[in-house]
Amino acid sequence: MGSRVPPLGIPIDASDTVLERLVLEETGKAVLSGERSSLLGREQNGGASPGSSPINVARREIFSRSISGSKSLSNDDIDLEDGKAAKDRDKNSRNYKSLKIQNQAILSGLAYCLSSCSMILVNKFVLSSYGFNAGISLMLYQNFVSVIIVSILSLFGVISTEPLTWRLIKVWLPVNVIFVGMLITSMFSLKYINVAMVTVLKNVTNVITAIGEVYLFKKQHDNKVWAALFLMIISAVSGGITDLSFHAVGYAWQIVNCFLTASYSLTLRRVMDTAKQVTKSGNLNEFSMVLLNNSLSLPLGVLLVILFNEVDYLTRTPLLKMPMFWLVMTLSGVLGLAISFTSMWFLHQTGATTYSLVGSLNKIPLSIAGILLFKVPTSPENFFSILFGLLAGVFFAKAKLRERSQS
């Protein structure tokens, strides 16, 4: 759901180099102007006065030259030492900045990977291990937690969000309906399918999105992109055939989720420009989108909870009387919000290229963790299909980045 932040594309020390060059130029100009002024002063005031003799003038000149020479030598020594110290300071400063940026990039990348993996694993734990049969209610509670946290942060000025106006709500409502459907179908599919197969089947979303871009936006993809999409389809089909824990209901929900996720991405592109026009600042950042989506999902979620008769289940289940269960559900809501924060942080520290590749590679440890933690029965054929699908996702990310750089 996160919006893409364009990378700055500027070397870390480029501004320092330019500034250093300007400072040297200005210093050179000041030195030259100082020499000119001193020469001009000598021409105006250093000539023989009526009461001075040529010998006295010559003596004063020799004496002043000797004094100025010794001063210049000592000043040159000081300047050389200061120059070396300044260079050392600049070098240490640049090394410190570079090290700081690298540490920030690594830290933000780890935070993004940890939050995204943990979110899916915690949801799987709530739905499968606890046997919680109210996926809509779980989605509703997670969105409620996100709204509370974002509102508090906005109130204290930590982040900036757009005010929710009726004009903005009307424009955004179609996107929000798809967003809610996307979250609910993801909950339903995750209850029946193991994490590894969910990550592989989600690749189908890329296929649907690519086809939608061709027909809706007249966008042309190169052969490498289509080849990667074809490999994704093969991996999804072979993974489903070799899945020892195959569940038809879960696969059906996941296919619907792929269509809704692709529809959300395509609809968001159409609505985004209109939504920006109806905001007060003319912009819609990620935090505003999180607040907008999660706030609008609350009344729709309550309606769906009533329609799907989850109220009756919630009144009968003993899980809601367990403090640990509430803690895990709250943690899942915090992790869902953390994905938005860490993804934006990671994008700012690196760029779209690294972000996309890390997002694709992140599915590999997630799939392995899902198989090991939930003791999923698997076969060599199924494991190879999953690995094949994950590598196809990495190949697709690289092909898309190459296509983007060429265009």
pLDDT tens-place string over residues 117-150: 999 999 999 999 999 999 999 999 999 999 999 9
- How many other CB atoms are found less than 10 A from the CB of residue 282? 9
Cα(157)–Cα(91) distance, rounded to whole angstroms? 36
Has residue 30 got a pLDDT over 70? no
Q: Please enumerate in sequence order all residues whose Cβ is within 8 A of that of 292, keeping only pairs 6 or more positions apart, or say none.
A: 162, 164, 168, 169, 172, 176, 284
**H or E element at residue 312:** helix 310-316
DSSP state of 362: T
Q: What is the DSSP string of 96-140?
A: HHHHHHHHHHHHHHHHHHHHHHHHHHHHHIIIIIS----HHHHHH
In the predicted model, what is the mean pLDDT of residues 7-16? 30
pLDDT tens-place string over residues 255-286: 999 999 999 989 988 888 889 888 888 888 88
99 pLDDT tier (thresholds 50, 70, 90) = low
State the pTM of this model.
Answer: 0.72
pLDDT at site 268: 87
Whose tokens are 């893409």? That residue is: 4
Is residue 361 within 8 A of residue 394, CB to CB? The reply is yes
Cα(144)–Cα(18) distance, rounded to whole angstroms? 48
DSSP state of 375: T
